[in-house]
Amino acid sequence: MAHQFCIPGKVSLSATIHNPRTPLRKFGIVTNSTILNIIIAEGITREITTVDSSNYDIVIIGGGIIGLSVAHTIPSIYNRVAIVDPSPGKGTTWVAAGMLAAVTEAYYGEDMNLNLNMASAKLWKSFAGELSEKSGIDIGYRQVGTLVVAGDNDDRSYIKELYDYQRGLKLNVEWLSAAEARELVPQLAPSVRGAMLAVDDYQVDPRLVIKALMKLATDRNYSFLATRATSINAASKKSSGGNSENGFDVTLESGDELHAGRVIVCTGPWTSQLKGIPRSITSAVRPVKGEIVRVAAPDPSLLPAHTIRGITNGRSIYMVPRADGTLVIGATMEEKGFDTAVRSGAVFELLRDARALLPIVTELSFQETIAGLRPATPDNGPIIGSVGDDNGLIVAAGHYRNGILLTPITAMAVSALVQSDEGQLPKEVIPFSPMRLEKSA
């Protein structure tokens, strides 16, 4: 994604947003009255003018779907907002498949996670409608349901046990015989042994969500700083009137500093690399690598109408069909630090398992392979809440497998914290405060 940095009275410069090590002053970003033209996607360009781009009401560190959604929900009284990210939307979010799988992500011993997931799932319809209406962009929100398919008898036993567990939780799931599953999705392989239907598990296209959120952020004249933040420090500086202003100094990779009254950390798997937040938080978030494959059908009707999740020979697989004929196949899970190289073996394994359940996969055209990093935590739950008592430093990270699903409730919670309105904080979010990590440390 290219950015143009245009300094009034000087020759326009251009830079690539993927280069976080270029000093910002070279491009006039940390100066007064800088104009930043952002080329979002497909010809959408917005011009941002910052009055004093080193001093902000709020600095949001991280420009993925969480950070951008938080930016979207911030009350309009905060008009000096900066989003710091070397490549907004091109990290974990860009790789995500976009399953809103509150039901099929319900696993043993994760009751609090389930409550949070279900609460956020209920927010997605209105959230999607708002984003599409305000941005004019269809974000691919589809209420298509999810079918969890068994490849053999052992896989059937596992899924049936999961079905019984979820029925015990009074979740909306239905058991289908092999014949019923193939009647619902004729593209399934003849060898499938049964399936569980979760009619309330939907999907969205994260890349289109990012496009919409970027447009809305630039419409509000937010500043995008194409670099990494390296540290946060509490600060006390003098205002123009001589009064003391508490807040935070955010140090950037270039060495430049931003001052903000509030800082919101939405750094996903990179949270551990940010200095200045408690070790109980940085040590809790680790990256888990996931690879996906994208293929495409010449006619979208060739693909299943439902999202397909499956178990084949004990291995998990998912296939998410898009309205444009794209099929997203994923995803591996590997503990390999910050490595995002795509393994050829991973591509083979994904295509092999996808074909075992959906044979048409081998007839589809190849589009893309890509790897991303999920921000995992010890209890698989996110970290959402204030660090300290004054809501000046807020963390929204560690969403692991459910960052897309948890976007609206996370944004709602952070907005409540920014306004110091604890009454608006969703009750399902409270157990995921950073304080729980201090207790377990």
Supply the pLDDT for residue 11: 27
User: Partners of 46 in the beta sheet?
Assistant: 38
pLDDT digits (tens, 9 = 90+) for 96-131: 999 999 999 999 989 999 999 999 999 999 999 999
Supply the pLDDT for residue 53: 54
Angstrom distance (rounded) from CA 60 to CA 72: 11
Angstrom distance (rounded) from CA 230 to CA 253: 6
Q: Determine if the peptide bond prior to 82 is cis (ω within 30°).
A: no
List b or e across 48-72, with b for residues whose CB sees 16 or more CB atoms inside 10 angstroms: bebeebbbbbbbbbbbbbbbbbbbb
Supply the pLDDT for residue 391: 85
Contacts of 100 (CB under 8 A, 6+ apart): 121, 124, 201, 202, 203, 204, 404, 405
3-class SS letters over 244-261: EEEEEEEEECCCCEEEEE
Supply the pLDDT for residue 54: 83
pTM of the model: 0.88
Q: 389 is written with which tokens?
A: 């008592």
Q: Minimum mean pLDDT among 44-53, 69-78, 304-313, 381-390: which range?
A: 44-53
Could you tell me the pLDDT band of residue 184, with boundaries at 50, 70 and 90? Answer: very high
Question: What domains are defined for the chain?
Answer: 54-93+208-283+380-440 (3.50.50.60), 146-199+286-376 (3.30.9.10)
To the nearest 10 degrees (0 to 180), the angle between helices 206-219 and 111-135 is: 60
Supply the pLDDT for residue 14: 31
DSSP 343: P
Task: Quickly tell me which residue has 């930016």 as its tokens.
Answer: 71
Angstrom distance (rounded) from CA 62 to CA 231: 13
Helices (H), ranges, 307-374: 344-357
pLDDT digits (tens, 9 = 90+) for 357-413: 999 999 999 999 999 999 999 999 999 999 987 889 999 999 999 999 999 999 999
Check residues 422 and 179 and name the one with the higher pLDDT. Answer: 179
pLDDT digits (tens, 9 = 90+) for 230-272: 999 998 654 444 333 689 999 999 999 999 999 999 999 999 9
Supply the pLDDT for residue 87: 96
Q: Tell me the one-letter amino acid at 206.
A: P
User: Partners of 174 in the beta sheet?
Assistant: 197
Q: Select from 182, 193, 202, 209 the least CA-distant residue to 320.
A: 202
Q: In 3-state terms, what secondary structure has residue 167?
A: helix
Angstrom distance (rounded) from CA 67 to CA 213: 10
**Mean pLDDT to the nearest integer, 337-341:** 97
Q: Select from 37, 70, 321 the least CA-distant residue to 205.
A: 321
**Mean pLDDT to the nearest integer, 274-279:** 96
User: Partners of 371 in the beta sheet?
Assistant: 291
Check residues 66 and 8 and name the one with the higher pLDDT. Answer: 66
Could you tell me the pLDDT band of residue 421, with boundaries at 50, 70 and 90? Answer: confident
